[in-house]
Amino acid sequence: MENMQLQIDKVTSSELELLQRISRLTFFETFSNQNTPENMHIYLNSNMSLENLCNEYNNTDSSFYFIRINGNVAGYFKLNFSQKYTNNHEKKSLEIERLYLLKQVQNKGFGKQIMNTIFEVSKLKNISTIWLGVWENNEPAIAFYKKMGFEEFGNHQFKLGLEIQIDKLLKINL
């Protein structure tokens, strides 16, 4: 992490193609070795299409942020602020829908810095609970979130291509 500078910026409307590229790349890096090529293809071409990302970007209840390291986009995250995303029925909650980093910059301390930034933003917005879903087979991510203080409170289904998978639901009270 020495000499590596982390910067977090809100994605702008002129950066949607870059958002699509980093979304597709980080998702593929993270999950392609544990899923079929067919399911990956279906998911990436529907959920990570430019049209779908534009629709998500234009949702006023959500925000996308780039994670830049030394000025280069190395990941992104998406936050949902609306109560309609509240899976745990708690008021003033926030969902981290996506948080992805390129493999080459993982395990260098950036995840903790990113989470601390999300905690700070949440406190400024009077958010009392942050929650997220993480694939039950993504053990490194589950371990990271638990290390950050998140606790499991349930699960829900996630459709990846033609397959229904299970996400563990984790939350932290601020």
Q: Which residues are catalytic?
A: 145
Q: In whole angstroms, what is the distance from residue 173 CA to residue 119 CA?
A: 10
